[in-house]
């Protein structure tokens, strides 16, 4: 699929390197940072397009180009990759966005397009942490009443319905966007906010709302880690939803490594014909 170096254009008789096209599957702070660095570092050689699912109403500004909305599964993504002449893909989506990651694996394998996964490092338990590891929101809901009565729910909107049947618990729910309707919870209040948060912010929320249990996804990364430090200090248990398993072939944990991968791909694909 990747364009060959023989497609090199010429200007005034001299070979001009054609820009390669990178698609970043985004929706995370890491994807935003990668787009900023990649556009700055490879401006001459690379067109950078970030794809967003379109869930957040006012996403933070992104360097390079942006497209929004689902592709329509692996076939849809493959059609987009072909039409946009994408040379490389970096999946920098959230560790819990398992469907789009699987879709990217399939579409890139189909077209033989190099795919890199940028996966933020998992959080590591520290002394004083009391984490209850669960498979998903349904299992979290089962454990919750035995652990506390005022829960700080920080798992996004999609899985909240799993807690609908939980009795005797008041929820403090934090979301990036205000929900369009009422949440399916018997007793709750809403906080709207987007990370990064500080430990002081998180501690204040937990103290002000008399939180006695935190529910979190094992998202990893620095942007939302402060709640774990606050829970540690306040000796609050954390119900931690495990990351869904993902089949990744080439994976890096940081922006620097992703940029080095891009650089290698550019060197490999842009050998100018003399
Ligand atoms: P998901 O379950 O893996 O994806 C659901 C569907 O949304 C996909 O099948 C795809 O639709 C579309 N989609 C997802 N990410 C996309 C992207 N970057 N560009 C274009 N289409 C995309 O994902 P999710 O958990 O709903 O997350 C949606 C977005 O929010 C992701 O970009 C992710 O990085 C971000 N996010 C997710 C979480 C989380 O906890 N899940 C947290 C923070 C940010 P089609 O099948 O039609 O292509």
Average pLDDT estimate for 23-48: 96
Does 136 have pLDDT greater than 80?
yes
Query: Above 70 in pLDDT, residue 175?
Result: yes
156 neighbors 175 (Cβ within 8 angstroms): yes
101 CA from centroid of ligand 1 (Å): 8
Does 10 have pLDDT greater than 80? no
Which of ligand 1's atoms lies nearest the C-alpha of 219?
Answer: 40
Distance, in Å, from the CA atom of 7 to the CA atom of 70, rounded to the nearest integer, reads 31
- Looking at residues 168-187, what average pLDDT do you find? 96
Rounded to the nearest whole angstrom, what is the distance from the C-alpha of residue 172 to the centroid of ligand 1? 24
For range 215-234, the mean pLDDT = 96
213 lines ligand 1 (CB under 6 A): no
Cα-to-centroid distance, 97 and ligand 1 (Å): 5
State the pLDDT at residue 60: 86
Handedness of CA 95, 96, 98, 100 (dihedral sign): negative
**Is 241 within 8 Å of 218 (Cβ atoms)?**
yes
Averaged pLDDT, 231-240: 98
94 lines ligand 1 (CB under 6 A): yes
Task: Could you list the beta-strand ranges (E) of 203-271.
Answer: 213-217, 238-241, 251-252
Please tell me the distance from the alpha carbon of residue 164 to that of residue 137, in angstroms, as a whole number. 11
pLDDT at 4 exceeding the cut of 60: no
Cα gap 243→224, rounded to integer Å: 15
Q: ∠ at Cα 207 (204, 210), nearest 5°?
A: 145
SS3 content of the chain, % helix, strand, coil (to 5): 35, 25, 45
Token reading at 248: 């990744």
pLDDT of the residue at 184: 97
Q: Mind listing the pLDDT tens digit for each residue in 244-272? A: 988 877 999 999 999 999 999 999 886 54
Q: Is the pLDDT of residue 16 over 70?
A: no
What pLDDT was estimated at residue 163?
98
Count other C-beta atoms under 10 Å from residue 46's C-beta: 21
| 57-96 tens-digit pLDDT | 888 899 999 999 999 999 999 999 999 999 999 999 999 9
> How is residue 108 written in tokens?
């890139």
pLDDT at 272: 47
Has this prediction a pTM greater than 0.85? yes
Assigned token pair, 96:
């819990």
**Residue 26: CB within 6 Å of ligand 1?**
yes
């Amino acid at each position: 699929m990747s364009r060959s170096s023989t497609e090199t254009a010429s200007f005034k008789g001299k070979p001009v390197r054609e820009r390669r096209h990178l698609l970043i599957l985004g929706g995370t702070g890491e994807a935003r940072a990668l787009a900023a660095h990649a556009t700055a570092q490879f401006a001459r050689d690379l067109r950078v397009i970030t794809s967003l699912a379109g869930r957040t109403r006012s996403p933070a500004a992104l360097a390079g180009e942006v497209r929004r909305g689902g592709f329509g599964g692996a076939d849809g993504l493959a059609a987009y990759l072909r039409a946009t002449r994408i040379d490389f893909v970096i999946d920098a989506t959230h560790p819990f966005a398992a469907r789009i990651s699987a879709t990217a694996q399939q579409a890139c394998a189909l077209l033989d397009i190099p795919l890199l996964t940028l996966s933020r490092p998992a959080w590591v338990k520290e002394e004083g942490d009391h984490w209850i590891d669960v498979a998903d929101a349904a299992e979290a809901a089962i454990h919750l009443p035995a652990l506390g009565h005022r829960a700080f729910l920080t798992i996004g909107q999609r899985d909240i319905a799993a807690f609908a049947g939980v009795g005797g618990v008041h929820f403090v729910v934090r979301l990036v966007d205000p929900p369009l309707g009422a949440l399916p919870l018997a007793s709750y209040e809403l906080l709207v906010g987007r990370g990064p948060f500080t430990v002081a912010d998180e501690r204040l929320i937990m103290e002000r709302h008399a939180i006695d249990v935190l529910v979190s996804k094992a998202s990893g990364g620095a942007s939302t880690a402060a709640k774990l430090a606050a829970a540690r200090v306040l000796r609050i248990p954390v119900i931690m939803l495990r990351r869904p398993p993902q089949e990744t072939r080439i994976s890096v944990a940081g922006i620097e490594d992703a940029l080095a991968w891009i650089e290698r791909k550019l060197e490999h694909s842009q050998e100018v014909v003399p």
